[in-house]
Amino acid sequence: MDQHVSPIGRPPTPEQREKIKLGRMNATPKRAYSEAIRDHCIECSGHNPGMLDCENKACLLYPVNTRGKRRKTTKTTIRKVIVSECRYCLGTHTPSGCTSPSCKVYPYGAGRATKKVALCNTEV
């Protein structure tokens, strides 16, 4: 069985436990997504929206632009918001073709793994 989650009612095997442990170690922390959004907002609006909203309500990152909003939002939702911003910026449904590494949310767009994940997925 090559899944991270064991079947219902059965404890995970040692191999599954190891995969779960590696998955948790390799996961991008919510803090990294939050910092990327904050940096993008500073670049766009010129100020840190840590406490106050910016005026650009049309921005796709607006729902998660302040610290309080990000704390109440799950990491998966923040990631989806970043991917939707990438799609909007590129004007296509598949944002994996982005070639703008100067963008603050570029490392977390769709189809890109962070260096930490890429390094840990190599077989030893």
Give the pLDDT confidence of 19-36 residue by residue, as tens digits: 888 888 888 888 888 888
How far apart are the C-alpha atoms of 84 and 110, rounded to whole Å?
9
Q: What pTM does this model have?
A: 0.66
* Spatial CA neighbour of 21 closest among 1, 33, 4: 4
Q: Which residues contact 110 (CB under 8 A, 6 or more apart)?
A: 83, 86, 87, 94, 95, 96
| pLDDT tens-digit readout, 81-99 | 888 888 888 787 776 667 7
> For residues 112 and 63, which has the higher predicted lDDT (pLDDT)?
63
